Structure 1
Amino acid sequence: VWHGHYVRYFEDGRESFGQKFGLSYLDFFNNGVVVPVVHIDCDYKRPLRYGESVYVETEYLPTEAAKLQFRYRLTTMSGELVATGASTQVFLGKDDFILQLVNPTFFGEWKQQMGL
């Protein structure tokens, strides 16, 4: 599998996390912000072979700063580690794309609901 797909798997993990925990891209958009990725890391451990299924483990990393941070583990269905990674996203106003230096209100409420 082409190595660039691994970053797409990270995105799939973020989207799944958002759907499961009420923090989807649409939730951000409906609350006036967009959340572009500004940094991503991927450490390749072994190639994923064509036709091989991958499991994406996505972990939200709490921070006081106005940003989203996630950590990822890609494994085969048998549990063999394929890659690890991390990403950082920032908050921009959806209409003006101005960097938001404080957490949006709804995100602060979400963190409180989650006990973070």
Structure 2
Amino acid sequence: MTEVYTHKAQYYETDQMGIIHHSNYIRWMEEARMNYLSSVGFPMERIEAEGIVSPVVSVNCKYKKVCRLNELIDIAIKVKEYNGIKLVLEYEMFEQTSGELRTVAGSEHCFTNKAGMLVNVKKVFPELDAALRATLEALEVTDNK
């Protein structure tokens, strides 16, 4: 399953060259991740209420072409890997009107308790684990067609 989130490029996100500053793509990834979690029934507030946080372990971006002010950017997000402790997400950012690929990115997250100790989501929040696994399995079925 691939979830799509749309972001409208804002003036404050541009740099002196009139293009979206590279740091903003990371923010857009975070917006897409929060939207994805909400779409599967687990907004971050619900996860944190269970005593779980999900820090970013790594992030990467490959900028194919710049984004500009007022463009609508569709951010396709999918679960690439999940094992209960680690979550790897993949993002593709497309300009909405043309469908042109602008950026390919990824982020890796772990799950910890509020003291910073790693936790296995399968054990501490089985409902979230089931939702993440279902998303990954749906993607695997789609990819194997």
TM-score range normalised by the length of the shorter chain: 0.7 to 0.9
CA-CA distance at 1:35 after TM superposition? 0.4
Q: Please name the residue that 1:109 is paired with.
A: 130
Alignment of 1:80-99 (within 5 A): 80-94=100-114, 96-99=115-118
Instruction: Give the structure with the larger helix fraction.
Output: 2
Alignment of 1:35-114 (within 5 A): 35-77=54-96, 78-94=98-114, 96-100=115-119, 102-103=120-121, 104-106=124-126, 107-111=128-132
Tell me the SS of whatever aligns to 1:50. Answer: coil
Moved over 3 A (4+): 111-116
Q: Unaligned 5+ residue runs, structure 1?
A: none
* Gaps in structure 2 of 5+ consecutive residues: 1-19, 138-145
Q: Percent identity?
A: 24
**Amino acid across the alignment from 1:7:** I
Aligned length, in residue pairs: 114
CA contact (8 A) 2:62 2:105 kept: yes
Q: CA RMSD for the aligned pairs? A: 1.9
Give the number of the structure whose alpha-carbon radius of gyration is greater: 2
TM-score, structure 2 as length reference:
0.70
- Pick closer, same or farther for the CA change 1:112–1:87 going to 2, 3 Å: closer
Q: CA deviation at 1:68?
A: 1.4
Q: CA deviation at 1:24?
A: 2.1
